[in-house]
Amino acid sequence: MENENQFRLLRKRRFAPFFLTQVLGAFNDNVYKNALVILVAYHAASYASIDPNLLTNVAAGLFILPFVLFSATAGQIADKFEKSAIIRIIKASEIGIMVIAAAGLLLKNLPLLLAALFLLGLHSTFFGPVKYAILPQVLSPAELVGGNGLVEMGTFVAILAGTLVAGVLIALDRGIVWVAALILVTGVLGFLASLAIPKVARAAESLSFEWNPFRETWSNLQFARRNRTVFLSLLGISWFWFYGAMFLSQFPTYSKAVLGGNEHVVTLLLALFSIGVAAGSLLCERLSGHKVEIGLVPFGSIGLSVFALDLFLATPGSVEHANFGAWQFLTQPGSWRIALDLFLIGMFGGFYIVPLYALIQTRSEPSHRSRIIAANNILNALFMVAAAGLAVVALSAGLSIAQLLLLTGALNAVVAIYIYLLVPEFLLRFLDWLLVHSIYRLRATGLAHIPEEGPALLVCNHQSLADALIITAVCRRPIRFVMYYAIFNVPVLSFIFRAMKAIPIAGAKEAPDVLERAYDNIAAALADGQLVCIFPEGQLTRDGEIGKFRPGVSRILERTPVTVIPMALSGLWRSIFSRNRDKWKVAVLFPSVSLAAGPALAPSDASPEALHAVIRRLASIAGAGGHKP
């Protein structure tokens, strides 16, 4: 299961019907919305004597308004009731909405068209919390990143396909009829797909409803703030929607006024961005090693700023406005650099957004998961409105489109640095991910033995100074490492160790107060349901053999009897971070490293001698890495 390819999920009933339902819904939304935008832009006089620009903004507001008004209620419904039943009701309502939309199109009735748009926003408002909250219930932790990647990929491909199809159909002689027929058929297909979604357990069946949406939203945000990482992840996701909304809203003007292109160039820019997000979303599973790897979030944010800067530098200062088509644009000097920048911005956006959604799903309380996601949807809507407001102010102040995009990239860097300073775990995981994946060839087995929640004591042999980094890189949960206090207090490195929430420890003779405080901190961490890792040898191996285990493990378990997970590291004795005196002679450029976790041991069975024997056997199975090479 741990190494199963994410595409296999498309053949499983617990995921495939939901995925198809989501993709069809996203496609249908965008067929209708983009057909409406085109009709408003080019045929507004046929519907009402209203300024097209005003009408476009009214339409955008009507679609976003339900997210603000009803997300809190949607989250409560998703937590209280069975999610597959909710999805079927939502998809059945989509058919009715599309009947109204089709009638508005055929009758050229603006009130019906705007009513359908508002109802589509309401439909998305109620579907959003269910969409992300159901995934942790039908996917294993090893599948969660891959499943989220598929959902994001499918969504952006559906958005692109809906945009393209709407543009093609509406240009036909009987285009309105074709659009009306398509949205009705797609709505029916979405409902039929939802019928195959299996039932899941209710998250909070006894939940009492709070009908005041503002009070409920505030309550959900306050609940999310109890977990700082989750709350800042909500802000991080909302920032991505700010960033994306800023770029997507500028594509038409950027294409026409800056690049000299026609509407086909706008479509090309949208396609490059969407395909980039899809590619990045799919790559997340491979780069993360089938776990929620938040180290990809800083990686993604770096790309979002770097390629926004390069897009600014690649943008021509002036262009002959020749109304280029897509192919003509690509033949112009520098056009491929612009195309690559937009693709990479989308791809790094995928690296950024998928782990954040997966992090919220795994670290939110299951009973509140849907409501937290609903609060996230409200924040997303507010951030998108803020993006529109900033664009108006910046352009009115005289900034060019290219300068506005550069400003967005610069703001992204500022926001990223602020978040990573508040929660260093993001940056530390990134540095850890980068180091491990660039220096070591890592193979891990038995990770399923590490519990997904609740306390456990991880016990491992000690081969090198990089041992904690290796273990952190493969474990889905944060780990509190117990480390020698003199190393913990090394200047500069001390900041990193404190950010990791490492627990300093000392010998009884050299610093008894540090030792006692360490045991208190270990007990508190385990009582709080955290993972704690200890290297019972007490020092790095000097000869490649697994040394004698000290009795500290027994003292920890006597005070806090928890599950013990034995682990063995292999291959690091040949690395430059070991105490091997001949390491400069035997070190290899990309050493092959193995980490093997064994079955959990009860506290009563986890004596130092028993653990030594188990870990020695695991090291032997993993490749004799616990001994001399």
Q: How confident is the model at residue 531 (pLDDT cuts 50, 70, 90)?
A: very high
Does residue 493 register a pLDDT over 80? no
User: What are the structural domain ranges in the chain?
Assistant: 1-212, 228-363+397-439, 440-622
At residue 600, the pLDDT reads 92
At residue 481, the pLDDT reads 92
Q: Which of 67 and 520 is assigned the larger pLDDT?
A: 520
At residue 626, the pLDDT reads 39
Inter-residue long-range contacts of 184-190, CB under 8 Å, 24+ positions, other chains counted: 184/95, 184/98, 184/99, 184/102, 186/24, 186/27, 186/28, 186/31, 186/98, 187/28, 187/91, 187/94, 187/95, 187/97, 187/98, 188/95, 189/24, 190/20, 190/21, 190/24, 190/25, 190/28, 190/91, 190/94
Classify domain 228-363+397-439 at the CATH topology level.
Growth Hormone; Chain: A; (1.20.1250)
At residue 412, the pLDDT reads 93
Rounded CA-CA distance 627/629 in Å is: 6
At residue 306, the pLDDT reads 94
Element (H, E) at 187: helix 175-194
Does residue 1 register a pLDDT over 50? no
At residue 601, the pLDDT reads 92
The whole-number average pLDDT for the span 359-370 is 82
At residue 585, the pLDDT reads 45
Residue type, 85: A
Q: Which of 578 and 215 is assigned the larger pLDDT?
A: 215
Q: Which of 196 and 363 is assigned the larger pLDDT?
A: 196
**What does DSSP say about strands 531-534 and 503-505: parallel, antiparallel, or unpaired?**
unpaired
At residue 628, the pLDDT reads 39
Q: How confident is the model at residue 378 (pLDDT cuts 50, 70, 90)?
A: confident
Q: What is the pLDDT of residues 89-111, one digit of tens each?
A: 999 999 999 999 999 989 888 88
Least confident of 310-314, 527-531, 617-621: 617-621
What secondary structure letter does DSSP report for 141?
Answer: H
At residue 2, the pLDDT reads 46
Does residue 548 register a pLDDT over 80? yes
Rounded CA-CA distance 107/97 in Å is: 15
The whole-number average pLDDT for the span 171-178 is 86
What secondary structure letter does DSSP report for 601?
Answer: B
Q: What is the pLDDT of residues 431-470, one digit of tens each?
A: 777 777 777 777 888 888 998 888 999 999 988 878 888 8
In CATH terms, the superfamily for domain 1-212 is MFS general substrate transporter like domains (1.20.1250.20)
Q: Which of 61 and 376 is assigned the larger pLDDT?
A: 376
Rounded CA-CA distance 77/155 in Å is: 23
At residue 629, the pLDDT reads 34
Q: What is the pLDDT of residues 13-70, one digit of tens each?
A: 889 999 999 999 999 999 998 888 777 665 555 555 555 556 666 777 788 888 888 8
* 0.85 exceeded by pTM: no
Q: What is the pLDDT of residues 403-426, one digit of tens each?
A: 999 999 999 999 888 877 777 777
At residue 520, the pLDDT reads 93
Q: Average pLDDT, whole number, for the chain?
A: 84
At residue 195, the pLDDT reads 95
Does residue 298 register a pLDDT over 90? no
Fold equal for 1-212 and 228-363+397-439: yes
In CATH terms, the superfamily for domain 440-622 is Glycerol-3-phosphate (1)-acyltransferase (3.40.1130.10)
